[in-house]
């Protein structure tokens, strides 16, 4: 009979979910995963087992089907925390298929909160995104920065998700909630046994590593006429293992908190921004090779600059990002080379 706390990680076969599972196991938690494998495979579960020697069980159920989650909770009534990653996350796809995004990202959340209520699950951690801030001009963005209308249905599912949890926390006194707003998670586990899998790259760093390895001819830098130090878009890149550890810290924080507020929001960013050219320079430095790139047109919807004020996570969670931009690029590059073989 295990005396460890049992944590349900949804989306455990995905990029951030898998890194978080490793961090949870290393900090003494028991983990079960729910992932319907619609956007992932079990590849990262195998990598988790290689790193931790723990074979995490994944339940391939759809969180939008209430009776299937009810069955899972009947089997695991002792779940003491939920970390909810499972969601669709492509901005352009959400513009093309808004109903699919609203249904998938919100029905799953509501079904899980119903279980929180029914089983008195004390801790709930939600994957939110800096996309809730839209194209804000207030930099760095703090958790109090007013949220403008979301730029996309995807961003809106995160705003609405946060509101659903906040409203729920007002009426339900049996649980505490952390809303974690990720900036740009990149990099891979230092063992290179897990990392990001994007067959068609959607984000900058997979695009850089796939270009370097020869899968893509060149990278296009989207625009060079922005109002930033070198005219190039600036973002807050943060190592996925730092993001992962923040979830463990959030569970500990919720367990210790006696605050009246049962729903707390945290920015998870490095606190400093880097431009795409600075990211390329870091890559070239650690990979010791030139990266072929051209300057192209602006990408529609891109904000010039976004970076986090992370003081709240540092102060309340005791979070301290440990990896710098070079580490992010180095681990992403080692992972790309290993994953491509």
Active site residues: 154
- Under the criterion CB under 6 A, does residue 277 sit at the interface with ligand UD1? no
In sequence order, the 6+-apart residues with CB closer than 8 A to the CB of 97 are: none
Residue 73 Cβ vs ligand UD1, minimum distance, rounded to whole Å:
29
Work out which of 5, 58, 128, 131 binds ligand UD1, going by CB under 6 A: 131
In sequence order, the 6+-apart residues with CB closer than 8 A to the CB of 186 are: 196, 203, 204, 205, 237, 238, 239, 240, 328, 332
- Under the criterion CB under 6 A, does residue 129 sit at the interface with ligand UD1? yes
| 28 conformational bin, left if phi > 0, alpha if psi -120 to 50, beta if neither | left
- Under the criterion CB under 6 A, does residue 159 sit at the interface with ligand UD1? no
Which range binds ligand UD1 by CB under 6 A, 29-37, 101-109, 255-263, 297-305?
A: 297-305
Which range binds ligand UD1 by CB under 6 A, 190-198, 218-226, 281-289, 321-329?
A: 218-226
> Helix 108-119 and helix 66-75: axis angle, to 10°?
30
Residue 16 Cβ vs ligand UD1, minimum distance, rounded to whole Å:
10
Residue 216 Cβ vs ligand UD1, minimum distance, rounded to whole Å:
9
Q: Minimal CA–CA distance to 106: which of 144, 147, 154, 149?
A: 154
- Under the criterion CB under 6 A, does residue 233 sit at the interface with ligand UD1? yes
**Lookup: tokens for 203:** 């984000």
- Under the criterion CB under 6 A, does residue 325 sit at the interface with ligand UD1? no
| x/- letters, 29..68, toward ligand UD1 (CB under 6 A) | ----------------------------------------
Kindly report the number of other CB atoms within 10 A of residue 303's CB atom.
18
Which range binds ligand UD1 by CB under 6 A, 2-10, 28-36, 171-179, 217-225?
A: 217-225
- Under the criterion CB under 6 A, does residue 175 sit at the interface with ligand UD1? no
- Under the criterion CB under 6 A, does residue 292 sit at the interface with ligand UD1? no
Residue 256 CA, distance from chain mean position:
24
Residues binding ligand UD1: number (CB under 6 A): 18
- Under the criterion CB under 6 A, does residue 93 sit at the interface with ligand UD1? no
CA distance 249 to 237: 20
Q: Minimal CA–CA distance to 29: which of 63, 10, 56, 58?
A: 56
Nearer to ligand UD1, 9 or 233 (CB): 233
Nearer to ligand UD1, 72 or 213 (CB): 213
- Under the criterion CB under 6 A, does residue 191 sit at the interface with ligand UD1? no
User: ω into residue 140 within 30 of 0, thus cis?
Assistant: yes
Give CA angle at 210 (228, 42), nearest 5°. Answer: 115
Residue 238 Cβ vs ligand UD1, minimum distance, rounded to whole Å:
9
- Under the criterion CB under 6 A, does residue 88 sit at the interface with ligand UD1? no
- Under the criterion CB under 6 A, does residue 228 sit at the interface with ligand UD1? no
Helix, strand, coil fractions of the chain, as percent rounded to 5: 40, 20, 40
CA distance 189 to 186: 10
Which range binds ligand UD1 by CB under 6 A, 116-124, 201-209, 248-256, 314-322?
A: 201-209
| CB-facing half-sphere around the CA of 255: CA atoms within 13 A | 11
Binding residues for ligand UD1 (CB under 6 A)? 91, 129, 131, 184-185, 203-204, 207, 219-222, 233, 235, 276, 299, 301-302
């Amino acid at each position: 009979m295990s005396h460890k706390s049992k944590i349900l990680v949804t989306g455990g076969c995905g990029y951030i979910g898998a890194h978080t599972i490793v961090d949870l196991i290393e900090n003494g938690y028991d983990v079960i995963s729910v992932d319907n494998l619609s956007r992932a495979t079990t590849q990262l579960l195998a990598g988790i087992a290689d790193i931790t020697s723990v074979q995490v069980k994944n339940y391939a159920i759809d969180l939008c089907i209430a009776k299937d989650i009810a069955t899972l909770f009947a089997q695991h009534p002792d779940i003491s925390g939920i970390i909810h990653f499972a969601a669709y996350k492509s901005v352009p796809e959400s513009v093309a298929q808004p109903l699919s995004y609203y249904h998938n990202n919100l029905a799953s959340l509501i079904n899980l909160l119903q279980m929180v209520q029914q089983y008195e699950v004390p801790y709930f951690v939600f994957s939110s995104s800096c996309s809730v801030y839209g194209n804000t001009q207030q930099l760095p963005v703090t958790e109090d920065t007013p949220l403008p209308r979301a730029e996309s249905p995807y961003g809106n599912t995160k705003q609405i998700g946060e509101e659903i949890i906040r409203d729920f926390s007002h009426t339900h006194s049996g649980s505490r909630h952390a809303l974690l707003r990720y900036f740009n998670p990149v990099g891979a586990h230092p063992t290179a046994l897990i990392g990001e899998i994007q067959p068609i790259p959607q984000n900058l760093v997979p695009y850089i590593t796939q270009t370097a390895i020869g899968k893509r001819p060149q990278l296009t830098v989207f625009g060079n006429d922005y109002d930033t130090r070198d005219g190039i878009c600036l973002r807050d890149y943060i190592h996925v293992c730092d993001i992962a550890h923040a979830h463990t810290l959030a569970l500990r924080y919720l367990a210790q908190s006696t605050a009246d507020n049962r729903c707390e929001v945290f920015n998870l960013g490095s606190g400093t921004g880097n431009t795409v050219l600075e990211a390329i320079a870091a890559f070239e430095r650690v990979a010791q090779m030139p990266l072929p790139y051209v300057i192209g047109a602006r990408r529609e919807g891109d904000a010039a600059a976004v970076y986090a004020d992370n003081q709240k996570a540092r102060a309340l969670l005791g979070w301290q990002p440990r990896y710098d931009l070079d580490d992010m690029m180095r681990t992403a590059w080692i992972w790309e080379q290993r994953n491509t073989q």
